């Protein structure tokens, strides 16, 4: 059967006489129920939702009164009935449908308010079992949402408390809901069920797949439209649940490029334990400097000293509460975004004086939940495990004749944390828990090393006794020789080159300590 064009659907405002409410998340339920009652709408409901409405003194009819059949199977079956779905799916502008439901004793339902069991939250619990998870797979809810969304010409569907306020405003102002509103709500509802089904499919994939899934399922909700993309001529939007991780509570909306930089900042700061004050400065997704010290102010100064030019207009991220002394140090130059787990009152008072500066609070570490990473490519996307697992020094191998000193080992571990957040080819020189020179994104590892040395020299930083980290193996011994001549005394790298023996021999020649990690950290 050919699909009817949209123009053939009735586009008149919809008066709501009867509503079905059955929600897991009861946020805003009281206000919505009161608005419906005041508009003369008959309310049908189920279980806990009905009890919550009754507690507000609002008349409500239990769905079992409509179906003539009591809830069963521990409440899992209550709305799967023709008296419910006939009322939702009836095309009340279509005479045959009107006559049929009249003969069957079915009354139309013009509003469906349903949100679903929190499946994503349940499977995110560390000890959840498959039996527990499957009990959070909603059946009746998605069925009602899809039925109402399909019949949006005759039914309004509210699938999230986020939509209640606008809906109530339109209902109170016009005593009806426009076709345009119903269409938008239907689109959102289908996106909601698609996201829900994708989460379930991906969970089952994680249970049974020992190889990449034959089909990847995803449906991310729109987080917000952005002013533009990387450049003003590009339209852009951000999707997902960024608000779970950050709260941008001061300043303008984050831009497309801001989100990329914030993502880089959150990733690198997750590598540093909260009991050691750490600071990273990000510019164009790359750290320009990183420092760890006894307090945040000194950590910031260490990070800033690596490159005193790039931080202008950049991002500062720290892993402890932002204090006033650190803020005063940061405030000496223009910093576009500051990110911290929290802020002292004094720090906020100073920072909020500049309206165009964004302040971001970290709500959750990306390391807690970011198991995968995705990148779009021609015709689809790439998926891989996220490279966020902490390094394990027990897996390291000392391959040089000389073992690193305690201080050198500390510097090696620090530089290894940083280098995996640098674009390949990546080189990091570090000493005393601070970066001295960073080289990134070059087609030659030697070029990256030369850039790192040049940056250190430009800032007057002494590389003598420093540690050098390389995200991948040194293919030739000349890279280690150049590092030694620059002043490095310790090297950390994955190893694995066919010339490893030559590279190790060169390290021994210069009395350098060298560690093989056995793990590469390419970041393309």
For residue 411, pLDDT over 50 is answered with yes
150 is known as an active-site residue: yes
The predicted-structure confidence for 254-299, as pLDDT tens digits, reads as follows 999 999 999 999 999 999 998 999 999 999 999 999 999 999 999 9
Check residue 8 and give its pLDDT: 61
- Return the CATH number at 80: 3.40.50.1380
- Quick one: 160 and 26 in the same domain? yes
Query: Would you say residue 25 lies in a domain?
Result: yes
Omega before 130 within 30 of 0, i.e. cis = no
For residue 445, pLDDT over 90 is answered with no
- Quick one: 317 and 414 in the same domain? no
Cβ pair 456, 436 in contact under 8 A: yes
Distance CA 432, CA 417 (A): 14
Report the mean per-residue pLDDT for the chain: 88
User: Kind and range of the H or E element at 439?
Assistant: strand 435-439
- Quick one: 177 and 261 in the same domain? no
Query: Would you say residue 193 lies in a domain?
Result: yes
> Which domain-ending residue is among 161, 181, 208?
208
Query: Closest Cα partner for 146 from 94, 85, 232?
Result: 85
Average pLDDT over residues 13-23: 88
Question: From the CB of residue 482, how many other CB atoms can be counted at a distance below 10 Å?
Answer: 17
The catalytically annotated residue of 250, 284, 301, 519 is 284
> Which domain-ending residue is among 349, 367, 385?
367
The predicted-structure confidence for 48-94, as pLDDT tens digits, reads as follows 888 999 899 999 888 777 777 777 666 666 667 777 877 888 887 77
519 is known as an active-site residue: no
- Quick one: 423 and 276 in the same domain? no
| Window from 7-16, 316-325, 385-394, 429-438 with minimum mean pLDDT | 7-16
The catalytically annotated residue of 81, 122, 150, 401 is 150
Query: Would you say residue 468 lies in a domain?
Result: yes
- Quick one: 192 and 303 in the same domain? no
Burial tier of 151 (Cβ tally within 10 Å: 0-12, 13-18, 19+): buried
For residue 2, pLDDT over 50 is answered with no
What is the three-class DSSP state of 4? coil
- Quick one: 22 and 131 in the same domain? yes
Residue range(s) defining the domain that contains residue 420: 393-516
- Quick one: 53 and 173 in the same domain? yes
For residue 1, pLDDT over 60 is answered with no
Domain tally for the chain? 3
Average pLDDT over residues 320-340: 95
Average pLDDT over residues 308-334: 94
Distance CA 481, CA 507 (A): 7
Query: Closest Cα partner for 226 from 207, 192, 253?
Result: 253
- Return the CATH number at 352: 3.40.140.20
Please state whether beta strands 222-226 and 236-239 pair in parallel, antiparallel, or not at all (unpaired): antiparallel
Query: Would you say residue 6 lies in a domain?
Result: no
Query: Would you say residue 354 lies in a domain?
Result: yes
Query: Would you say residue 4 lies in a domain?
Result: no
Query: Would you say residue 109 lies in a domain?
Result: yes
> Which domain-ending residue is among 208, 232, 254?
208
The predicted-structure confidence for 186-238, as pLDDT tens digits, reads as follows 998 988 888 888 878 877 877 776 666 666 666 677 788 999 999 999 999 99
């Amino acid at each position: 059967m050919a699909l009817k064009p949209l123009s053939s659907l009735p586009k008149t405002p919809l008066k709501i006489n009867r509503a079905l409410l059955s929600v897991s998340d009861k946020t805003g339920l009281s206000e919505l129920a009161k608005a419906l009652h005041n508009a003369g709408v008959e309310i049908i409901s189920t279980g806990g939702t009905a009890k919550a409405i009754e507690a507000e003194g609002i008349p409500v009819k239990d769905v079992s009164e409509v179906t003539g059949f009591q809830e069963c199977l521990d409440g899992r079956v209550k709305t799967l009935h023709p008296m419910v779905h006939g009322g939702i799916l009836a095309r009340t502008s279509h005479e045959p449908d009107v006559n049929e439901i009249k003969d069957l004793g079915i009354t139309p339902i013009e509003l469906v308010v349903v949100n679903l069991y929190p499946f994503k939250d349940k499977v995110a619990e560390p000890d959840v079992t498959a039996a527990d998870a499957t009990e959070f797979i909603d059946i009746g809810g998605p069925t009602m949402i899809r039925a109402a969304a399909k019949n949006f010409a005759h039914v309004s569907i509210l699938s999230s408390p986020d939509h209640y306020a606008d809906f109530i405003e339109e209902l109170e102002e016009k005593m009806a809901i426009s076709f345009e509103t119903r269409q938008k709500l239907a689109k959102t509802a289908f996106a909601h069920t698609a996201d829900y089904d994708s989460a379930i499919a991906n969970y089952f994939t994680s249970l049974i797949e020992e190889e990449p899934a034959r089909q990847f399922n995803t449906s991310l909700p729109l987080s917000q439209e952005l002013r533009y993309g990387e450049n003003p001529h590009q339209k852009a939007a951000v999707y997902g649940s960024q608000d779970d991780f950050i709260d941008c509570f001061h300043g303008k909306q984050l831009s497309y490029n801001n989100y990329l930089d914030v993502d880089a900042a959150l990733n690198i700061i997750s590598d540093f334990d909260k009991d050691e004050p750490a600071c990273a400065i990000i510019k164009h997704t790359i750290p320009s400097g990183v420092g760890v010290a006894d307090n945040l102010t000194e950590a910031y100064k260490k990070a800033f000293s690596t490159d005193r030019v790039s931080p202008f207009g950049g991002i500062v991220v720290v892993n402890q509460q932002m204090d006033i002394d650190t803020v005063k140090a940061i405030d000496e130059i223009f910093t576009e975004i500051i990110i911290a787990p929290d802020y002292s009152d004094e720090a906020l008072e100073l920072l909020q004086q500049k309206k165009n500066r964004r302040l971001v609070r970290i709500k959750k570490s990306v390391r807690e939940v970011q198991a995968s990473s995705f990148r779009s490519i021609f015709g689809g996307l790439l998926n891989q495990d996220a490279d966020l697992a902490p390094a394990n020094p027990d897996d390291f191998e000392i391959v040089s004749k000389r073992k690193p000193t305690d201080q050198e080992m500390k510097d090696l571990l620090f530089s290894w944390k940083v280098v995996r957040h640098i674009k390949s080819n990546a080189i990091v020189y570090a000493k005393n828990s601070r970066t001295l020179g960073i080289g990134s994104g070059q087609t030659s590892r030697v070029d990256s090393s030369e850039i790192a040395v040049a940056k250190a020299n430009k800032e007057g930083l002494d590389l003598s006794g420093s540690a050098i980290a390389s995200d991948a193996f040194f293919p030739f011994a000349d890279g280690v020789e150049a590092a030694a001549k620059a002043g490095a005394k310790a090297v950390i790298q994955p190893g694995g080159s066919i010339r490893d023996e030559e590279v190790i021999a060169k390290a021994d020649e210069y009395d350098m300590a060298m560690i093989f990690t056995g793990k590469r950290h390419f970041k393309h």
